[in-house]
Amino acid sequence: MAPDTPELSAQERAGKAFPVSWDQFHRDCRALTWRLNEVGPFHAVIAITRGGLVPAAIVARELGVRVIDTVCIASYDHDKQGDLKVLKSISAETAKLGGGTGKGLLIVDDLVDTGKTGRLVRDMMPDAHFATVYAKPKGKPLVDTFITEVSQDTWIFFPWDTALSFQPPIRDGAA
């Protein structure tokens, strides 16, 4: 019988950690909005749930956009990526605002990693503007506007997924 070799999760493969605080995330979302303000105006913001909900709220507030829709996609179970499942599509009302192709619509997500999620949504609305706060190299070509690039071997820890905890001193082998 083959030895039991559990597959590494995306987070384990990533190796490096990039923890983001609420304060940092808010600042990065505002920095993203400064760039988007040069590109708009936008008829509506579409958040890719769930990670896109927080940046979409901040960006929409700063841009003065009040029509917010969601496209609900699940792929990662914690840190393992499986098949992409579209749980809810962009509404017909929002699609109409973008002339069916997404023109004048802003799609927001927290990050692109492999780019699979971004590709799926881009294919739904090819003329929409796609913005993320963070981008890893594989997904970067799909994004129109982002703020910070992190390497492919980095796992981003978002404030809504984490809590403060004790860290051993670096001298004792902390990462």
Ligand X SMILES: O=P(O)(O)OC[C@H]1O[C@H](OP(=O)(O)OP(=O)(O)O)[C@H](O)[C@@H]1O
Ligand Y SMILES: O=c1[nH]c(=O)c2nc[nH]c2[nH]1
Instruction: Identify residues 109-168 at the interface with ligand X (CB under 6 A).
Output: 109-118, 139
Of the candidate residues 155, 162, 171, 174, the single one contacting ligand Y (CB under 6 A):
155
Residue 100, judged by CB atoms within 10 A of its CB (0-12, 13-18, 19+), counts as: exposed
Binder of residue 158, out of ligand Y, Mg ion, ligand X, none (CB less than 5 to 8 A by kind): ligand Y
Q: Does 44 bind ligand Y (CB under 6 A)?
A: no
Q: Is 113 assigned to a binding site?
A: yes
- Residues shown for the chain: 175
Closest CB to ligand X among 55 and 102? 55
What is the token pair recorded at 158? 């978002």
**Catalytic residue IDs:** 109-110, 113
Following DSSP, what letter does each residue of 65-96 receive, concatenated? Answer: ---EEEEEEEEEETTEEEEEEEEEPPPHHHHH
Q: Which parts of this chain interact with ligand Y (CB under 6 A)?
A: 76, 111, 113, 155-156, 158, 161
